[in-house]
Amino acid sequence: MRKIIYWVHTSIDGFVNGPNDAFDWAVMGPELSAYSEGLNQRVDTLLYGRPVWEMMVGFWPSVETTSPDPHLATFAPFWRATPKIVFSHDYPGDEWASRVVHGDLAAEVTALKAQPGADLLLTGGAGLAGALTELGLIDEYHIAVHPVVLGGGRTVFAEPKQRLKLRTVESRLLDGRIVVTSYEVAR
């Protein structure tokens, strides 16, 4: 059975984006980039909710032409080559989305996890992550806490309706400033 890995950046006050959807605060140093690349090596499909998808598709297709950043230069080809599934009730799709899922979230994701292949990576997106968490479909959580207080925005978990017990697998300080902790669902 494939796993769903949730990889997210958050502020120390628990927000995945700031007021007005600002995401200019997550700094990718070499160690954090290497951690992210390690997760990429475990997966063969990327999962997105519509809000994060629209941000990603507006940035990653041609980022190498606008930035010399080594993380961007490494991730952009991976992003372009990896199948991407967007979950949305009404998004029609675009040239970069391999598939758009409009139907029953639990049934669609359960079927994806049952298919042969490598793991699935959900990058950011509090709404989809919250829905998949409520359904018990996320297997691992990798949370990068950046040393910034945003004071508002979307929370890492969109108001969970039930308690979720996790087991801490590892916690590391990366680039001398970002704490990344990985968790597995305690079953």
pLDDT tens by residue, 82-112: 999 999 999 888 888 889 999 899 999 999 9
Closest CA to 55 of 10, 100, 12, 21: 21
d(CA 88, CA 91): 6
In three-state form (DSSP H/G/I as H, E/B as E, the rest C), the secondary structure along 50-79 is HHHHHHHHCCHHHHHHCCCCHHHHHHHHHH
Domains, the chain: 4-185 (3.40.430.10)
8 Å CB contact between 10 and 125:
no
pLDDT tens by residue, 127-166: 899 999 999 999 999 999 999 999 998 888 777 678 889 9
Confidence of residue 176 (pLDDT cuts 50, 70, 90): very high
d(CA 81, CA 92): 21
Residue 120 tokens, joined: 């699935």
d(CA 128, CA 40): 19
Tell me what pLDDT residue 150 has: 94
Tell me what pLDDT residue 71 has: 76
Residue 2 tokens, joined: 């494939």
Strand partners, 119: 43
Residue 160 tokens, joined: 């969970």
